[in-house]
Chains A and B, each alone.
Chain A
Amino acid sequence: MEREQWGSRVGFILAAVGSAVGLGNIWRFPYVVYENGGGAFLIPYFFALLTAGIPILVLEFGIGHKFKGSAPLSFRRILGKSEWLGWWQVLISFVIITYYVVIIAWAMSYTWFSTNLQWGEDTKGFLFTEYLNLSDGAWSSGGIQWNIFILVIAVWALIYFVLYKGVKSGIEKASKLLMPVLVIIMILFTIRGVTLPGAVEGLNVLLTPNFDKILDAKAWIAAYGQIFFSLSIAFAIMITYSSYLPKKAEINNSAFITGLSNSGFEFLAALGVFGVIGFMATSSGTDVNEVAAAGVGLAFVVFPQIINQLPALNEVVGVMFFFSLVIAGLTSAISIVEVIVSAVMDKFSMSRKQAVTAVSIIGFLGSVFYTTGGGLYYLDIVDHFINSFGVVLAGLVEVLIVGWLYRLASIREHNNLTSDFAIGSWWDIMIKVITPIVLGTMTVLNIKTELGAPYEGYPLDFLAIFGWGTAAAVIVLGILLSLVPGFKNEGRKF
């Protein structure tokens, strides 16, 4: 069976950028900058982009292009026994997509709520009591919330439709349509944000450098963490996407374009977000530091409050903000599901239609779990553990295996053959030394933090099952899947 292929370089890059640009670019990055030295944080951030983010992108683009397979097949071709690593990454993608789809469904709801500011004055109460109907505690599921359940079906249907059409007619076309729309909306949102009265206060808090903070190792770890989580690396997406590149496709510059587009987008989003936060602080007579927030709290509690107080165009700004979350989320979700679809197709010789149908149904069933009244608790814990002990650890194992057990230079030489510019042996050092040190440090610090106190005060048995249990299950299942016979159409040897 001939492997599918992108229709153009622009299509591939837009799909890769669409994957990298996700919810974290809009709701995580601005707060990370604010918390870690403001403008001064841009120094470790840019350093992390050049020493880890782009080098890993170059590596994953190279792996996918050279070995022409989904993550399990590519790692099998790199080193026969490392197929499990590919499955581990695929299963991490599976876990992430089950709750990621639910957040997109929330953003869809809030896009609609924006049209008449339905959340009212008590935005916190509206989110947790009225919309999510949050249960009393972690062990109480509270039953399915049907308003969320229906939208989750809609999101899965959209993903199904795009992936069913294939790489060129589905993913590429969707990326070419959605990414320009997302960038235009974000530019308009940022222009509105920075021209609001009081926006300067927010921008001053965001950008005024505090160089003392970047002398602390925490800021550097935060910079590497942001780059790592933001670029969709280490859970097989970029390997999968680049496996659909033709033989003569450019690699190195495409990795730079993808990395810089992702970072350029989140820099733009940060200006818009802190512009409106500055407005909120000024108009309510509070300090910017009291308004600054991240994640679900920023998007679904603070932003509705800000939108309520805008002097004009409240509904328009609300729709722009939440619709940008929907698009950013959808393009990332499509890439995450494609990782699983591609692996299933390769391993079990299934057609795209069969694989997309099977993965979408199973994924949807997993998502139902998060549409219950206790869904936010599960989401919070699973997201925390799968990132801290899934993505980071899988990334560490990936650079160790490819860097030290395989002739890494052969991937660099392969990339250089067709690239706009050649990459030197400095790249080998980044992959073999710098990245493992950073990811290893992050893992040790994560373990130390976790053992210090239960995450967010959740019950220990709950954390053991949903947190540690999920992180461990994806490794065990990954190993088991690698032992299942498959890859009948493996083709040429590498």
Chain B
Amino acid sequence: MNTGAIIMFAFGATLLWGGLVVTLVLASLKSKNAKESYSEDVSI
């Protein structure tokens, strides 16, 4: 691939895939409910 294409690939991958990883890590760190069941929370 040419340099421009490689740079834009890195740009897209970092923002989209990297951004997704950051949000997933944040979810697992911050939220107690990140992976757990909603079953105990039935208050609507």
Contact = CB atoms under 8 A, between A and B. Distances in A.
B17 A420 contact: no
A203 B42 CA distance: 49
A265 B9 CA distance: 14
B23 to A, nearest CB: 5
A430 to B, nearest CB: 17
A260 B15 CA distance: 9
B15 to A, nearest CB: 5
Given A420-B27, A421-B26, A246 B9 contact: no
Given A264-B20, A267-B16, A42 B8 contact: yes
A203 B10 CA distance: 13
Contacts of A260: 16, 19-20, 23
Contacts of A9: 27, 31, 33-36, 38
Given A42-B12, A207-B8, A246 B38 contact: yes
Interface residues of A, number: 39
Given A5-B38, A39-B11, A257-B24, A246 B4 contact: no
A210 to B, nearest CB: 9
A6 interface: yes
A200 interface: yes
A46 interface: yes
Contact of A264 (B16, B31, B38): B16
Among B19, B26, B39, the one with the most A-chain Cβ atoms within 10 Å of its Cβ is B19
A2 B43 CA distance: 10
B37 A7 contact: yes
Contacts of A267: 12-13, 16-17
Interface in A1-48: 2-3, 5-10, 38-40, 42, 46
Most buried by B among A2, A9, A68, A271: A9
A208 B44 contact: no
A248 interface: yes
A2 B23 contact: no
Contacts of B33: 9, 248-250
A57 to B, nearest CB: 12
Interface string A385-404: 00000000000000000000
Interface string A233-261: 00000000000011111100110110011
Interface string A347-374: 0000000000000000000000000000
Interface residues of B, number: 33
B5 A203 contact: yes
Interface string A189-225: 0000000000010011011110000000000000000
A209 B8 contact: yes
Contacts of A5: 38, 42, 44
B21 to A, nearest CB: 9
A10 B38 CA distance: 10
A232 interface: no
A256 B18 CA distance: 12
Contacts of A38: 5, 8
> Which residue, of A2, A46, A208, has the highest number of chain B Cβ atoms within 10 A?
A208
A41 B7 CA distance: 13
Contacts of B43: 246-248
A158 B38 CA distance: 26
Nearest to B39: A7
A245 B42 CA distance: 9
Contacts of A40: 8
A6 B13 CA distance: 31
Contacts of B16: 46, 260, 263-264, 267
Contacts of A247: 41, 43-44
B31 A250 contact: yes
Given A9-B31, A267-B12, A421-B30, A207 B17 contact: no
B1 A203 contact: yes
Contacts of A245: 38
A246 B8 contact: no
Given A39-B11, A264-B16, A10 B24 contact: no
Nearest to B12: A42
A253 B8 contact: no
B27 A6 contact: no
Contact of A253 (B17, B23, B41, B42): B23
Interface string A260-286: 110110010001000000000000000
Nearest to A42: B12
Report the 9 A-B pairs with minimum CB-CB distance, sorted nearest first: A39-B8, A207-B5, A246-B41, A420-B30, A260-B20, A264-B16, A207-B8, A256-B23, A247-B43
10 contacts: A9-B27, A42-B11, A200-B1, A203-B9, A207-B1, A207-B9, A208-B5, A209-B5, A209-B8, A421-B30
Given A260-B23, A264-B19, 5 more contacts: A7-B37, A208-B8, A247-B44, A248-B43, A264-B17
